[in-house]
Amino acid sequence: MSAVAKGDGVDPVSLVVGALAAGAAGGLTESASAAVTGAYAALRDRLRRLFTADREAAGVLELHEGNPDVYQEPLRHVLARSGAAGDYEVVAAAQYLMTLLDAAGSAAGKYSVDVRGAQGVQVGDGNTQTNTFTAPPPGT
């Protein structure tokens, strides 16, 4: 998995894209553990539920599963556009999958999401948000 480092962690879009790619590669082999297969399915299924009303995003997710290298950038785009990578359950599922696939990297904080200095971040379902962006406070 390749992830774009941000501070001490990784941005949520890169985490989710990387976890899906690693899960597609590692979770679909005969030697994959039931835990890896289940964690990959949980992440994929959460995204499918979020993309129910977005046919383009749902299609990109399906295409990515079959060919992660080719569909990495389109998936990155739909995750960012839809806000799905900001969904707590999606990020938690991606982190859990990466913990199973790369325990050493997870223990070292490689898949921790860093939102320091971020604006407009939401966690959870059913949120309503109005953004007025200004310069970040000094020291962030």
DSSP 56-89: HHHHHHHHHHH-HHHHHHHHHHHHHHHTGGG-HH
Secondary structure percentages of the chain, helix, strand, coil, to 5 = 60, 5, 40
Tokens 């921790």 map to which residue? 112
Residue 7 has pLDDT above 50, yes or no: no
Task: Give the global pTM.
Answer: 0.67
pLDDT-above-70 percentage for the chain = 65
Per-residue pLDDT tens digits for 18-65? 999 988 876 555 556 888 889 999 999 999 999 999 999 999 999 999
